[in-house]
A and B are shown apart, each in its own frame.
Chain A
């Protein structure tokens, strides 16, 4: 059974006001258990709005949201249950830090879950280690950390709740390449180790190409495409028409193909691209010389 099921979801900001915006329009799809789903789309297409429905922060104007087959709004009083099940990391999460020490801040979530003290300590330390925060940093004030360290502390605060579904809204935005790599590879590691479902919103096609199994493309509050990563990036022209781009490697391969070289178009990682190129070169080397 799919872990998240979105049924004809419509969301309108400021309904009934003169400036009402339809942010999502009759969206239906499913997130499979254990998958790594990438969400892309141009600015303002409704990505953030969509994912804030996953843990009941926004209530659908129309339509339903099911988690493990249960309508989460059947009992609005119980909504907190789903917040622990679906961990949500917001865009720029470092602005939500508030405690005196990093340790206390990371334990905010687990404490709200009502866990016993030893378990909290254990989870906090594990989450911190996972996000690359040294034990010494746990005792510092979150406001003394660098931007990247703050970001890791904030993500650790969500990981410490050990959510079954981890949703991240551009977790790597505004970080240096090393920081991006660090955060995303740890997310992937969490995915592998715990078998958790991951939903990653990103503007970086490279990141999506590298980590996602499937990709959801949103456009103007509606689903434009939903398919495996390879199939999505094979439709490069359509993506470009939507105002999105494709990974750099894909661009190169598309141009090579436009020059009449017979290579597949679903190349979206550098590794795969290299193999194909080596292959093509070998074939060429075996035949006549140009």
Chain B
């Protein structure tokens, strides 16, 4: 069902990864994504995978959650894998009717799959260990210089916070409305595509109505508490870089540099 979606879900904990400064985590995650593309060779990918496993272990997040967060992208993975397998020219491994599987194709598929899995798992680790509120806070701080260029940084991050805050609520609401309509005999998961789209109307309309109602109520509640935008707002919890952040960041950067140069290393290996 809808609640099985784990992307963007937060698992509270007290590991070093949880306690790390969100700004550092955010930047390191971006760094990790970049390095995945720079170090797209067997050695680099192996190192990236090991790094990920270590990070998950330190964060005490069970690895099997990765499989769950991968589920939605399996079709894309399969699609690109098939394309690469059959349509990359090179030395043939075997031929099936008009399709030829090549060594280069196989290599591409492997690199691609590992890279996507690491990409998803790496970014998931960020959201698993950082609550959305803290994350947008970090984003706001990192983007703060843009406010000088009249970019409404605070408003944007407030919008993001609110949006993230309401995702679980909306999922719950969707579940409830779907149940209510099913109780009246609605068939939501059978039929042709056309029928299914039509069957969604009884779910979508109440959902929108209630989303607007919630938005109204929230705006009212915020005004009642004298919210007036970001100007002059102070924070209860200030983000502060500590020793742990420096150590972990240094370690990560070292690993990233290693992965970055893995292409050269790989080339030097006597294979």
A residues sitting closer than 8 Å to B (CB atoms) are: 14, 18, 52, 55, 57, 80, 83-84, 87-88, 90, 93, 95-98, 108-109, 112-113, 143, 157-158, 161
Cα–Cα, bound, A199→B267 (Å): 73
Q: Mark B185-205, 1 if CB is under 8 A from A, else 0.
A: 111000000000000011101
User: B15 contacts the other chain (Cβ, under 8 Å)?
Assistant: no
> Is B183 in contact with A95, judged by CB distance below 8 angstroms?
no
Looking at chain B's contact residues, the main secondary structure is: helix
**A55 to B186 alpha-carbon distance, docked (Å):** 13
Inter-subunit contact B183/A87 (CB<8 Å): yes
Q: Which residues of B contact A83 (CB under 8 A)?
A: 182-185
Chain B residues whose CB sits within 8 angstroms of the CB of A113 once the complex forms: 185
The reply to whether the CB of B268 lies closer than 8 angstroms to some CB of chain A is no
A93–B184 CA distance with the chains assembled, in angstroms: 12
Would B176 and A108 count as touching, CB distance under 8 A?
Answer: no
**Which residue of B has the minimal Cβ distance to A19?**
B11
Residues on A with beta carbons closer than 8 Å to the beta carbon of B185: 80, 83-84, 108-109, 112-113, 161
Residue in B closest to A93 when the chains form the complex, CB atoms? B180
Contacts of A93 in B (CB 8 A): 180
Nearest 5 CB-CB pairings of A with B: A112-B185, A98-B205, A96-B180, A109-B184, A88-B183
Given contacts A96-B206, A98-B201, contact A90 B184 (CB under 8 A): no
Contact present for A57 and B182 (CB under 8 Å): yes
A98 touching B183, Cβ below 8 Å = no
Q: Does B209 contact A (CB under 8 A)?
A: yes
A residues in contact with B62, CB < 8 Å: 18
Which chain B residues border A14 with CB–CB below 8 Å? 3
B105-144 with Cβ < 8 A to chain A:
none
Query: CB-CB < 8 A to B176: which residues of A?
Result: 90, 95
30 contacts between A and B (CB under 8 A): A14-B3, A18-B62, A52-B179, A55-B183, A57-B179, A57-B182, A80-B187, A83-B183, A83-B185, A88-B183, A90-B180, A95-B173, A95-B176, A95-B180, A95-B206, A95-B209, A96-B180, A96-B181, A96-B206, A98-B201, A98-B202, A98-B206, A108-B181, A108-B185, A112-B186, A113-B185, A157-B184, A158-B183, A161-B184, A161-B185
**Chain B contacts for A88, CB-based, 8 A:** 183
A2-B210 Cα distance, complex, nearest whole Å = 39
